[in-house]
Homo-oligomer: A and B are copies of this chain.
Amino acid sequence: MAFEYPRTIHFPETDAAGVVFFASYLALCHEAYEEALASAGMRVSDFFAGERHGVIIPIARSEADYLQPLTVGDRIRIRVRPERLDAHRFAISYEVVRSGPPEKTVARARTEHVCIHATSRERVPLPAELAAWVDAR
């Protein structure tokens, strides 16, 4: 079962077209990814700032399909599904659903993440607790 992150759309995410700016969907998806890690017991700052393990996990690729506009006050849920790519890499799929009725999928996105050593920038295996989370899905 996918992790779900509930969220309300706020004014700072919108642009002069009156709707959420396309790049802000990806920031919302990253929030959902952080919440998924936290709910699995991981300290998010460890993974993003390389404070632990000496590993950082930059995003190597993103894709998104924007199906419907979102406006201020909309209630959404973001479904987060990790997927293992290889020893050093994983992907996350996101489905952004606007609460209804009727409920509606308004965007789909995907990010690819690669584990590298913070200083050498060589590829390294996923840290154990992250691997456990990715592989459990």
A residues near B (Cβ < 8 Å) are 8, 10-12, 14-19, 21-24, 26-27, 30-31, 34-35, 38, 43-45, 48-50, 56, 58-66, 69, 71-73, 111
Contacts and interface: CB of A to CB of B under 8 A. Distances in A.
B65 A17 contact: no
A31 B64 CA distance: 19
A24 to B, nearest CB: 7
A48 B11 CA distance: 8
Contact of A15 (B14, B22, B64, B73): B14
A22 B66 contact: no
B22 A59 contact: yes
Contacts of A11: 15-16, 21, 30-31, 34, 44, 48
